């Protein structure tokens, strides 16, 4: 049975949260199970991030992820979500060739998955593309600071971005082109605070300090599922990896020694 009282959060409501002084909690999810749990917990938005390439597929970067894979994961997520705004990453080279290419790929994602919006990385250099997408009625979340799709150019994944004037220019360019929100990744707190003050759209930080309008974390990171990953910006709210290993060890032991299944687990 569906709960008719639950209404999906809209892009205008997400945008309006800033003026209302409401902080926004965003988390990544890649499948039906975790998206449903995240939605039930009350997060404001679920990002089907191209981090799927690293967290789920086991690559070292997000670069190999394809549009088809993003659609596959976003469909699973959208089937589970009742309230949160679902945003889907445009993967590497799915929008860099031209604004037309971006509309085609983002259009496929929106039409086939039912997601509300797409996210792309870049500010000044992606202004025309963000404008073209918003003109095509596709809401866009921007992403500046560390841009994992530019890992080859930036020279590494974990580098804090410190060029204040460039970061401000990028953030303003994304807003001016029509982005309804913007991710600020791995930039100093003071710069994130300045961008947050200057922009009228919500800033969603990750490694950008406490002054942003919201926060995004990779779901499996905050749940403690990703083992040895301990960057300074991450707070782990659970240790599900240890809990899962303990449960699976106990299960294995009980099957090996005949403790499980018992008669009580059998059908007559």
Catalogue the active-site residues: 185
101 Cβ contact partners less than 8 Å away, ≥ 6 residues apart: 94, 95
Print the SS3 string covering 124-138.
HHHHHHHHHHHHCCC
Coil/strand/helix, residue 256: helix
Residue identified by tokens 């404008």 is: 131
Q: How far is the CB of 121 from ligand KIV (least distance, A)?
A: 8
Interface residue with ligand KIV among 51, 175, 203, 226 (CB under 6 A) is: 51
CB-closest chain residue to ligand KIV: 49
What 206-209 contacts at long range (C-beta under 8 Å, 24+ apart), as own/partner pairs, is: 206/233, 207/145, 207/146, 207/160, 207/231, 207/232, 207/233, 208/145, 208/184, 208/233
Q: Which of residues 18-47 bind ligand KIV (CB under 6 A)?
A: 28, 47
CA quadruple 64, 71, 31, 46: dihedral sign: positive
Draw the binding track, 61-100, toward ligand KIV (x: CB under 6 A; -: no contact): ----------------------------x-----------
Q: How far is the CB of 145 from ligand KIV (least distance, A)?
A: 10
**Number of chain residues interacting with ligand KIV (CB under 6 A):** 11
Interface residue with ligand KIV among 49, 91, 139, 202 (CB under 6 A) is: 49
Draw the binding track, 204-223, toward ligand KIV (x: CB under 6 A; -: no contact): --x---------x-x-----
Q: Which of residues 91-150 bind ligand KIV (CB under 6 A)?
A: none
Nearer to ligand KIV by Cβ, of 212 and 216: the residue is 216
Nearer to ligand KIV by Cβ, of 153 and 265: the residue is 153
Do residues 129 and 120 lie in contact, with contact meaning Cβ atoms separated by under 8 Å?
Answer: yes
* Candidates 48-56, 130-138, 174-182, 250-258; binding stretch for ligand KIV (CB under 6 A): 48-56
Q: How far is the CB of 218 from ligand KIV (least distance, A)?
A: 5
Angle formed by the axes of helices 189-198 and 164-176, to 10°?
30
Residue 184 touching ligand KIV (CB under 6 A): no
Separation between Cα atoms, residue 69 and residue 262, nearest integer Å: 42
Helix (H) / strand (E) containing 35? helix 32-41
Using CB under 6 A, list all residues that contact ligand KIV: 28, 47, 49-51, 89, 183, 185, 206, 216, 218
């Amino acid at each position: 049975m569906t709960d008719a009282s639950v209404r999906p959060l809209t892009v205008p409501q997400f945008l309006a949260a800033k003026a209302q002084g409401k902080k926004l909690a965003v988390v990544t999810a890649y499948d039906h199970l975790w998206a449903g749990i995240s939605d039930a917990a009350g997060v404001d938005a679920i990002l089907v991030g191209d981090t799927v390439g690293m967290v789920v597929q086991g690559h070292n970067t997000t670069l190999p992820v394809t549009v088809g894979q993003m659609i596959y994961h976003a469909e699973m997520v959208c089937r589970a979500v009742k309230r949160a705004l679902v945003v889907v990453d445009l993967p590497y080279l799915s929008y860099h060739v031209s604004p037309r290419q971006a509309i085609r790929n983002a259009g496929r994602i929106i039409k086939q998955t039912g997601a509300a919006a797409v996210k792309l990385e870049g500010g000044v250099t992606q202004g025309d593309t963000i404008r073209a997408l918003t003109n095509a009625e596709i809401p866009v979340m921007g992403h500046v600071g560390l841009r994992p799709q530019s890992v080859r150019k930036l020279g590494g994944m974990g580098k804090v971005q410190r060029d204040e004037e460039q970061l401000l220019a990028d953030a303003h360019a994304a807003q001016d082109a029509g982005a309804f929100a913007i991710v600020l990744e791995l930039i100093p707190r003071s710069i994130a605070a300045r961008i947050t003050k200057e922009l009228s759209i919500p800033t969603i930080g990750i490694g950008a300090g406490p002054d942003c309008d919201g926060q995004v974390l990779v779901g499996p990171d905050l749940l403690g599922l990703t083992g040895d990953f301990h960057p300074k910006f991450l707070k782990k709210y659970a240790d599900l990896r240890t809990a899962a290993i303990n449960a699976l060890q106990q299960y294995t032991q009980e099957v090996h020694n005949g403790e499980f299944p018992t008669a009580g687990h059998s059908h007559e």
